[in-house]
Amino acid sequence: MSDRQPLSRDVQSARLSAAEYDENFSDLHAPLDWHEAKVEAERCYFCYDAPCMTACPTSIDIPLFIRQISADNPTGSAKTILNQNIMGGMCARVCPTETLCEEVCVREVAEGKPVKIGQLQRYATDHFMESKRPHPFTRKAETGKKVAIVGAGPAGMSCAHHLAREGHDVTVFEARNKPGGLNEFGIASYKSTENFAQREIEFLLEIGGIEIKTGQRLGEEIALDQLTSDYDAVFLGLGLKNTNRLNLEGENAPGCEDAIDYIAALRQAEDKSILSVGRNVVVIGGGMTAIDIAIQTKLLGAENVTICYRRGQDAMNASLYEQELAQTHGVKIMHWRQPNSIKLNEQGEVCGLEVETTSDASGKLSGTGEMQIIQADQIFKAIGQKFDSTLLSDHQVELEQGRIKVSDTRQTSHQKIWAGGDCIVGGEDLTVVAVEDGKIAAQHINSVLQG
């Protein structure tokens, strides 16, 4: 294949019937019914020194909430969960439980079959939300203190809820047209169905004392200096705005796209048939975003979907379970392959990707010189994101390794600013970790505001 090929791209919308779209993007895991939840709960040993609880980033009392389910008290179970993780419903859907609580479950270690902690958590939280019961927490008396939160993602909304519970007035500034952040725009559609992200936001707001303002971008509609002047404390849950680049010629050509932008468009599309997808799709990357875009393009009707990752299987950030999920959907994963050049047709559109075989036999990753061309109508980049440090220039907020440096309490170098989520040093691209960051920051903010 030469640099310019007389090939037309096969990229189309409406590759499937309406029924096929509905089936493909239905719940990945059907929710447990009452009987299934009871049977599964009774498998738990209710360990005293439970390793699953230690493995949970938000420290949910897992043995307790499962015991409450077994005692036919899903309402009490939900309150146990939500007290530690107000977004326990979403986390039950998207948490990589196979590498967290379920990985260390005693039954997993002994039998290779853990208690289905994530599905039990969903059973309890769904029961509570669907029962239309009053909000599980009561707001304390108003303190007269005001807190600004920038970013309505998991970290920001977790922080907002905990501060509102303490009686503080919270204003959340969100750049997009709706709140939710990662949960609304970045999660695979088959993991969060029936508009659950927004329903969870509405549930969270029932505590009172939280106002969300959308279309408010830091550095444009709002300024950090003004926020620190007008509010008693500020929390930054900014996420990672910028996508890493391949730095290859043709990266901006039609057909070479950022995976996160496509996933966001897919999540917001009420009609999946409007999304155009190639017959042959290549994904570059080895994390959860790579897996999510690969599976979803396959579900949209792509015939051949290939993930290219520059290292071996064990080095992929995506869990083994997620890798196997992709393969069961027909996705091909090619390890030890790195992109070398993007092939374009005579119209300047993507038509293929040349990859080079890699090796780390010398202890350092390097190319072997062996090349291969993979036909591609679409190439998706899923090679990570980075923080937009220009948002904090000249604001006395110290950065480290390109992200916000924080203490154990999530306070930054500025005494009135805290931060959490993947915008901080060591931040992980996980909803549950972001929720915990927001909770930790809120606890410290509250102690400072209370004197």
* SS3 at position 120: helix
Closest CA to 79 of 29, 36, 127: 127
List, in sequence order, the alpha helices (H) in 131-247: 154-165, 182-185, 196-205, 224-230
Query: Domains in the chain, ordered, with CATH?
Result: 34-131 (1.10.1060.10), 146-241+387-450 (3.50.50.60), 244-381 (3.50.50.60)
pTM for the full predicted model:
0.95
| Burial group, residue 359, by CB count within 10 angstroms (0-12, 13-18, 19+) | middle
Rounded (10°) angle between helices 154-165 and 196-205: 20
How far apart CA 196 and CA 192 sit, in angstroms, is 6
Question: In this structure, are strands 403-404 and 399-400 parallel, antiparallel, or unpaired?
Answer: antiparallel
pLDDT tens for the 451 residues of the chain, in order: 445 555 678 999 999 999 999 999 999 999 999 999 999 999 999 999 999 999 999 999 999 999 999 999 999 999 999 999 999 999 999 999 999 999 999 999 999 999 999 999 999 999 999 998 999 999 999 999 999 999 999 999 999 999 999 999 999 999 999 999 999 999 999 999 999 999 999 999 999 999 999 999 999 999 999 999 999 999 999 999 889 999 999 999 999 999 999 999 999 999 999 999 999 999 999 999 999 999 999 999 999 999 999 999 999 999 999 999 999 999 999 999 999 999 999 999 999 999 999 999 888 999 999 999 999 999 999 999 999 998 997 778 999 999 999 999 999 999 999 999 999 999 998 999 999 999 999 999 999 999 8
How far apart CA 95 and CA 100 sit, in angstroms, is 8
| Burial group, residue 118, by CB count within 10 angstroms (0-12, 13-18, 19+) | buried
Neighbours of 363 (CB within 10 A): 6
Question: In this structure, are strands 337-345 and 4-5 parallel, antiparallel, or unpaired?
Answer: parallel
